[in-house]
Structure 1
Amino acid sequence: MTQFAHYPSLKGKTVFITGGASGIGAEITKAFAAQGARMGFVDFDRTTAEALANDTAGDIAFEFCDLRDIDALRAAFAKLAERLGPATILVNNAARDDRHGWQDVTPDYWDERQNTNLRHMFFAIQAVAPGMIAAGGGSIINMSSNSWREAVGGMPAYVTAKAAVEGLTRTMARDLGPHRIRVNTVVPGWVMTERQKTLWATPEALEKHRQGQCLPDLIDPVYLARMVLFLASDDAAMCTANAYMVEAGSI
């Protein structure tokens, strides 16, 4: 059985995460709660989110939010702060990798995909950064994707947004660094969430993907959560403006 690390520096910290109800986000939510953090998350799936909040031990709070609505995001974070205190850790996780052909993309669809996968990340940072500054520092982790590095096709709006996440990380690390706020990117490979298994993880697709990985094992969401915990902890105090790969050596 794998033995994972415990981070004393995370105990009592207030953490906000977007898209924390399922998939990678749920693993991150549970991982922080297990470290003794005060965990607040927003999500669009009310039923799944409420079940996770009820079934997870610890100080955990949920607010419903459609992240495409920035005013709703700000309001949800304000409610979480009232309950848990201002966040000193933010995980920008929410995204949807819906497939789409380049021929069919309209301007409205393109904008909606950027609003779903990128725009809210900046405004989440903008919402929590003043509290982090007041606290003397913090950690922000933005979730990207290895899809653009692998030149994956079939979803150009999603892949473009995920490439832009790394640019957002770099510029915000520079702007917020003087306040001892660290900003990093976590870059997943193909992670075996229930969504991936249901929609796209056919035996043929999995075998082809294994051949492109250095490691033979498929990636469980728990390993993304472990990287996020490290980057949020004091162990990563000198880590900022960088991308941390959890992709089993995919090419």
Structure 2
Amino acid sequence: MDLRYRGADAQPGRAGPAVSAPGLTGRSVLVTGGASGIGAAMTRAFAAAGAVAGILDLDAAAGEAIAAETGAAFEPCDLRDLDALKAGVARLAERCGPATVLVNNAARDDRHGWAEVTPDYWDERMATNLRHQFFAIQAVAPGMIAAGGGSIVNMGSGSWIQGTPGLPVYGTAKAAVHGLTRTMARELGPHRIRVNTVIPGWVMTERQKELWVTPEKIEGLRARQCLPDLLQPGDLADAVLFLASDAARMITAADLMVDAGAL
């Protein structure tokens, strides 16, 4: 039986990005975790904008599917393995050209109780949700410097701002993304490389609907939001495309909240 809450699907989807993204045509873009959910929406949006999209993702089947759909280049990669991450970035650079846009999107918000967290679990969650963001920046920055500039978008989360229960390690990792963004914006700014954070509210991905969305939670969410509509993956893709594009050429070290006013 399919127990997903269908009320979360009340808004119609749209084809392609809803924002103008000047300067992205032909630009090499790397999206981590770009095979499903919000990442897949980003991959579709960049492809629709004329960018040359590359994906690093652990899910080989989903990666091959989105690559076939969009024409993106896909490389299977466990981002917790830093050698694999560096090799994946290098392979995509050979296929697509050195990335001048990096979207650090990959993450996993598995629920966990604070009393059961072990040091090994802590380290693995940090590797899953934070560490790869820094090392992906380290891997792509030389190519951006050689190209004369670039844009890096780190995906944060509203969960730590709201204090969502059941996510203490995830929330800690996502809070640290803001420090990563601000410090790397300062480090890379002289090379005209911009670094920003996008902070999502609760986005109605298939994973969220399958695991956690209920009518009661949606009612509470709508009560907190200023806007009545539920966030869809495409809403986050639009924000990322804007920050990646030349329309945001003087925006860096910034946090862009896409939460319908809930936080």
TM-score by length of 1: 0.97
In the alignment, the residues of structure 1 paired with residue 26 and residue 65 of structure 2 have an alpha-carbon distance, to the nearest angstrom, of: 23
In the alignment, the residues of structure 1 paired with residue 24 and residue 188 of structure 2 have an alpha-carbon distance, to the nearest angstrom, of: 20
In the alignment, the residues of structure 1 paired with residue 211 and residue 230 of structure 2 have an alpha-carbon distance, to the nearest angstrom, of: 16
Residue in 2 aligned with 1:249? 261
Residue in 1 aligned with 2:58? 44
In the alignment, the residues of structure 2 paired with residue 178 and residue 116 of structure 1 have an alpha-carbon distance, to the nearest angstrom, of: 29
Deviation at 1:61, TM superposition (A): 0.2
Deviation at 1:121, TM superposition (A): 0.1
Among 16, 22, 25, the residue aligned to 1:8: 22
In the alignment, the residues of structure 1 paired with residue 87 and residue 20 of structure 2 have an alpha-carbon distance, to the nearest angstrom, of: 32
Residue in 2 aligned with 1:64? 76
Deviation at 1:170, TM superposition (A): 0.2
Whether the 8 Å contact between 2:20 and 2:242 is mirrored in structure 1 is no
Deviation at 1:209, TM superposition (A): 1.3
**Paired AA for residue 73 in structure 1:** L
Residue in 2 aligned with 1:222? 234
The answer on 1:186 being equivalent to 2:184 is: no
Residue in 2 aligned with 1:211? 223
Residue in 1 aligned with 2:42? 28
Residue in 1 aligned with 2:8? none
Which ranges in structure 1 are unaligned for 5 or more consecutive residues? none
Deviation at 1:7, TM superposition (A): 2.2
Which consecutive aligned stretches of 4+ in structure 1 deviate over 4 angstroms post-superposition? none
CA RMSD, Structure 1 to Structure 2 (Å) = 1.1
Which ranges in structure 2 are unaligned for 5 or more consecutive residues? 1-11
Deviation at 1:208, TM superposition (A): 1.1
**Paired AA for residue 31 in structure 1:** A
Among 149, 155, 165, the residue aligned to 1:143: 155
In the alignment, the residues of structure 1 paired with residue 84 and residue 175 of structure 2 have an alpha-carbon distance, to the nearest angstrom, of: 25
Residue in 2 aligned with 1:237? 249
In the alignment, the residues of structure 2 paired with residue 6 and residue 143 of structure 1 have an alpha-carbon distance, to the nearest angstrom, of: 21
The answer on 1:99 being equivalent to 2:99 is: no
Deviation at 1:8, TM superposition (A): 3.4
Give the 3-state SS of the residue equivalent to 1:17 in structure 2.
strand
- If asked which structure has higher relative contact order (CA below 8 Å, sep 6+), I would say 2
Residue in 1 aligned with 2:4? none
In the alignment, the residues of structure 1 paired with residue 204 and residue 157 of structure 2 have an alpha-carbon distance, to the nearest angstrom, of: 14
Give the 3-state SS of the residue equivalent to 1:216 in structure 2.
coil
Deviation at 1:4, TM superposition (A): 1.9
**Paired AA for residue 14 in structure 1:** S
In the alignment, the residues of structure 1 paired with residue 26 and residue 197 of structure 2 have an alpha-carbon distance, to the nearest angstrom, of: 23
In the alignment, the residues of structure 2 paired with residue 224 and residue 5 of structure 1 have an alpha-carbon distance, to the nearest angstrom, of: 11
In the alignment, the residues of structure 2 paired with residue 152 and residue 200 of structure 1 have an alpha-carbon distance, to the nearest angstrom, of: 13
Residue in 1 aligned with 2:33? 19
TM-score by length of 2: 0.93
The answer on 1:88 being equivalent to 2:88 is: no
Residues matched between the structures, number:
249
Residue in 2 aligned with 1:132? 144
Identity %: 68
